[in-house]
Amino acid sequence: MLIPLIIGKNSNGDNQMIDLAQSPLLMISYCEEEQLKNIVTQLTNLDYPFKQSDYYIVSSRKCAYWNIDLQHAIHFYKDDPSKGNINKKSKLLKIINDEISRRERILKKNKGIDFKRYFSLNTWKDEKLSYQFFIIDDIWDIVISKPKTIGLSLMRIILYGSDVGIHTIFTSKLSYRNLLEQLININPSITKELQKNMGCLSLKESTV
């Protein structure tokens, strides 16, 4: 495992692990604060080559509960924007999308190799790229945000981020399918992205 994350225990009481590098999107359903604290603590303490800052959209209350130093993270506190180093969620989403575009250009310049291959060759690269994670403690808050372009920005991160090493982790009481349905209802232009990247005419035809 390149980037191990403990997600629970198996029937024998042993830690159940996943490899975050192989998990482009991680949704934590019905997540309690203690579970979220545990996952964010693990992410903060992860050690892998050329580790870079992660991105957070969180409530001030939950940040205090985590008691984690986010000094080296790019974060937005939705309950009190003045406490974050980004004062708008739309701005943070733009930062992530700009980083996705930058990484896409770098990979294309390097003969179109995929991110996993590029990461394995980081030692010999002038510009290092490492895995980054985008953590959202309440995905619904973004789904219903205005303007509607915020939902489209989120979808672009979900669709394209993992191709360049930026993976999304969020909590929600909705299934992934229901989340996409809500996003489409709010912004029908997302359907075009689904058609382009998932080859489906409608969400019901998708296997997501």
Task: For the chain, state the CA radius of gyration.
Answer: 17
95-70-171-65 Cα dihedral, nearest 10 degrees: -150
State how far the Cα of 35 lies from the Cα of 7, in Å rounded to an integer: 9
3-state DSSP: the chain helix, strand, coil percent, rounded to 5?
50, 15, 35
Q: What pLDDT score was predicted for residue 200?
A: 42
Question: What is the pLDDT, as a whole number, of residue 195?
Answer: 58
Query: pLDDT in tens for each of the 208 residues of the chain?
Result: 688 888 878 888 888 888 988 988 887 766 667 777 788 888 888 888 888 889 988 877 777 666 666 677 888 888 888 888 898 999 999 999 999 999 999 999 998 899 999 998 888 888 899 999 999 887 777 777 777 778 778 888 988 999 999 999 887 766 666 766 766 676 666 566 555 554 443 333 333 3
pLDDT score, position 95? 96
| Predicted pLDDT at 35 | 75
CB 20 within 8 A of CB 3: yes
The predicted pLDDT at position 119 comes to: 92
Q: Look at the chain and report how many structural domains it folds into.
A: 1
Instruction: Write the DSSP string, 78-111.
Output: SS-GGGSS-S-HHHHHHHHHHHHHHHHHHHHHTT
Judge whether 108 and 114 are in contact, CB under 8 Å: no
Domain span including residue 79: 4-205
pLDDT at 131: 94
| pLDDT given at position 196 | 59
Tokens of 163: 């191709």
Tokens of 89: 């969620």
We report the CATH number of the domain holding residue 85 as 3.40.50.300
**Residue-level pLDDT at 138:** 79
Length of the chain: 208
